[in-house]
């Protein structure tokens, strides 16, 4: 009787927990958006555990199915599994990046290994793999999207070590768990370092370029540069050297287990580039062209610096140093192009720029936007919008989170709260997407006014959002931005081209005080200046890409002698010298704050920004051939060929369908003014 009573009480407790936890209930909210005000930090852990339990049961059911494996009872069934877990983590991971309170970050430490183990349970399960392999080996009769999703799932098993023996699978699982923890630790350290940088200098990391462009005090610029470029490299509790090294050594061990000599060999095996040699050749040409241009830029800046020397502002013989570049480049730009950011910023008030982003999407793709005041947001500065197609059908819900705050990680990104897919009832589930940036918030004295670079960032991130919103796939694993790393940036970068298109600018770029439309002569200056300073801009980006590749091309023997922070710095210095990087420029990201490759999935993949730019600039050339350039007919072809297809076809196949030819590698150099 006592045992029976305890069972009843236990069941009642579970039911009570479910009733109290919003994740364990259906969301009776507009468009299935998250009821943020009802979610407590304490809700995440039990919901994640329940999500893992439910997906485990769903996977067990697939394996236990007595029928022969088919696409529907195996691949499609897997695609529809784990919906509760996706629902919880979609909220949790987004908020850990935008509103990373100490409680959320502590929970991140707890759930990360748990989620890694749950994933390994799936992708190291030989019984499930046997069914997936059976479908893969008989996939000729499937349609193209089904073939792609099947191949992607099959490859995921293989690349996660399913073919290893029992000891190998166990070790692979251990490494996955440790890597998950280390990656989160790297990101947490960097967030703390960004806070320490602000405390030491009085400026935020996102405000660094503006500060360095305008600060007249050379000693202060030097101090700020050194603080910025040494983040995660102080030998204290937030030092990232040991973490980066352990990550690299574990990735190398994983690659070795799968028969690859280096992480780069393993990572690039299923990317567009295919191998490290192709990437190296691609980057070396860009580096040579950018450094040639950078030396010309130094000569121009030195002339201005010499004037300051002559005026007694600087000691005789002073030469351009890394901490001088932003400052003197801005002076050269003002002279060469008569372009002063203080004159452009008033036309780029943040609300106007958001309007411009939306206007471009409407003019090109017929998308309509309205503020969704009935949709709850997770932070008061966030705005929600409902997107509909020209026929009135729902496209999705957009959260716009533009402003920096102390508990938000640096940079800018697009992410999904919910991806597009077709559910078991055959309904097209529309995506819920966020763009997060770190633009300066308004102050008591002035509204939020954006630089030319920040305007491009807003358009860039919405290019990713369009890729997610306009997806018309059936399966989540290939919908939207679920494409290879060296393809995904094509769509964000091509959207940047519309930021300063005169036809679009006149719709949104209005002076925040007078309402005056931006003068065409100022537009011409902006567009002319976009190719300015490209030796530096391209060089620091290319240098970071080469540094990323250099780390991931080391085999276990190469890594063995690299043990200390001094060894890490020495290796980085050696790589920079060998790539031809001049002393006045450092990589955009140095090892200890290279979040992309140690915490954001871009390992041996940071080159993808430049690789995708070849595709983007060559594809955009098609718009440059037609009149008007903002051409809905051509945009419709772009939408149907690329944006609706996601990863349901090979990238090069889609590019050839749109362009009618392979990409032209010189398009990037021409577009950046480096040829």
Catalytic residues: 461
Helix residue spans in 65-101 (DSSP H):
77-79, 83-98
Helix residue spans in 202-238 (DSSP H):
208-214, 218-229
β-strands 421-422, 413-418: how paired? Answer: unpaired
Task: Report which DSSP code applies to 448.
Answer: -
Closest CA to 232 of 482, 579, 529, 568: 568
642 vs 637: CA distance, rounded Å: 8
φ/ψ of 394, rounded to 5, equals: -70, 130
149: CB partners within 8 A, 6+ apart? 75, 79, 475, 477, 478, 648
Distance of CA 672 to the CA centre of its chain: 22
447 vs 24: CA distance, rounded Å: 41
Residue 349, strand partner residues: 449
φ/ψ of 384, rounded to 5, equals: -110, 145
Count of residues for the chain? 675
β-strands 413-418, 432-439: how paired? Answer: antiparallel
Q: Give yes or no for a cis peptide into 252 (omega within 30° of 0).
A: no
563: CB partners within 8 A, 6+ apart? 245
457 vs 466: CA distance, rounded Å: 14
Closest CA to 148 of 645, 675, 667: 645
50 vs 498: CA distance, rounded Å: 45
661 vs 652: CA distance, rounded Å: 10
468: CB partners within 8 A, 6+ apart? 396, 414, 416, 419, 420, 431, 433, 479, 480, 481
CB atoms within 10 A of CB 106: 11
Say if residues 411 and 396 touch (Cβ distance below 8 Å): no
């Amino acid at each position: 009787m006592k045992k029976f009573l305890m069972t009843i009480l236990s069941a009642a407790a579970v039911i009570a927990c479910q009733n109290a936890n919003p994740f364990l209930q259906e969301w009776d909210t507009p468009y299935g958006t998250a009821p943020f005000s009802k979610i407590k930090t304490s809700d995440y852990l039990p919901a994640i555990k329940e999500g893992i339990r439910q997906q485990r049961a769903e996977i067990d059911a697939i394996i236990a199915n007595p029928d022969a494996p088919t696409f529907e009872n195996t691949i499609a069934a897997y695609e529809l599994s784990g919906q509760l877990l996706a629902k919880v983590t979609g909220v949790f991971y987004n908020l850990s990046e935008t509103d990373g309170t100490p409680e959320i970050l502590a929970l991140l430490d707890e759930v990360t290994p748990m989620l890694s183990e749950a994933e390994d349970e799936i992708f190291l399960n030989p019984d499930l793999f046997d069914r997936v392999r059976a479908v893969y080996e008989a996939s000729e009769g499937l349609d193209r999207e089904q073939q792609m999703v099947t191949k992607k799932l099959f490859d995921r098993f293989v690349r996660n070590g399913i073919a290893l023996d029992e000891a190998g699978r166990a070790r692979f699982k251990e490494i996955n768990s440790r890597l998950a923890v280390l990656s989160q630790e790297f990101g947490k350290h960097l967030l703390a370092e960004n806070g320490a940088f602000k405390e030491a200098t009085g400026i935020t990391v996102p405000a660094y370029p503006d500060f360095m462009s305008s600060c007249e005090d050379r000693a202060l610029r030097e101090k700020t540069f050194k603080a910025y470029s040494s983040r995660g490299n102080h030998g204290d509790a937030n030092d990232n050297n040991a973490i980066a090294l352990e990550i690299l050594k574990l990735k190398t061990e994983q690659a070795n287990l799968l028969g690859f000599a280096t992480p780069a060999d393993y990572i690039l095996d299923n990317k567009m580039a295919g191998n490290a040699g192709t990437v190296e050749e691609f980057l070396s040409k860009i580096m040579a062209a950018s450094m040639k241009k950078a030396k010309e830029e130094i000569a121009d800046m030195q002339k201005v610096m010499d004037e300051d020397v002559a005026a007694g502002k600087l000691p005789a013989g002073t030469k351009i140093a890394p901490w001088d570049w932003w400052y003197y480049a801005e002076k050269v730009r003002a002279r060469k192009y008569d372009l002063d950011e203080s004159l452009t910023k008033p036309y780029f008030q943040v609300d106007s720029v958001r309007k411009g982003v939306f206007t471009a999407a409407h003019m090109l793709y017929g998308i309509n936007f309205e503020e969704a005041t009935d949709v709850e947001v997770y932070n008061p500065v966030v705005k929600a919008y409902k997107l509909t197609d020209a026929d009135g059908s729902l496209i999705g819900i957009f959260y716009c989170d533009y402003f920096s705050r102390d508990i938000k990680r640096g940079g800018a990104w697009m992410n999904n709260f919910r991806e597009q897919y077709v559910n078991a009832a055959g309904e097209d589930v529309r995506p819920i997407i966020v763009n997060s940036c770190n633009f300066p918030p308004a102050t008591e004295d002035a509204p939020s006014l954006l630089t030319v670079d920040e305007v491009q960032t807003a358009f860039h991130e919405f290019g990713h959002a369009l890729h997610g919103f306009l997806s018309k796939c059936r399966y989540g694993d290939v919908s939207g931005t679920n494409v290879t790393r060296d393809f995904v940036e094509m769509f964000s970068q091509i959207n940047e081209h519309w930021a300063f298109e005169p036809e679009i600018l006149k719709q949104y770029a209005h002076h925040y005080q007078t309402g005056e439309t931006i003068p065409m002569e100022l537009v011409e200056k902006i567009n002319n200046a976009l190719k300015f300073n490209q030796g530096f801009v391209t060089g620091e980006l290319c240098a970071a890409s080469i540094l990323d590749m250099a780390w991931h091309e080391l085999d276990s023997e190469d890594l063995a002698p690299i043990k200390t922070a001094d060894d890490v710095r020495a290796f980085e210095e050696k790589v920079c010298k060998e790539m031809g990087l001049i002393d006045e420029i450092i990589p955009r990201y140095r090892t200890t704050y290279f979040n992309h490759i140690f915490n954001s999935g871009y390992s041996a993949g940071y080159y993808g920004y430049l690789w995708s730019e070849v595709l983007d600039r060559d594809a955009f050339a098609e718009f440059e051939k037609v009149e008007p350039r903002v051409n809905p007919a051509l945009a419709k072809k772009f939408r149907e060929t690329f944006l609706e297809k996601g990863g349901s076809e090979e990238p090069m196949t889609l590019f050839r369908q749109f362009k009618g030819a392979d990409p032209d590698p010189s398009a990037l150099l021409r577009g950046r003014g480096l040829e």
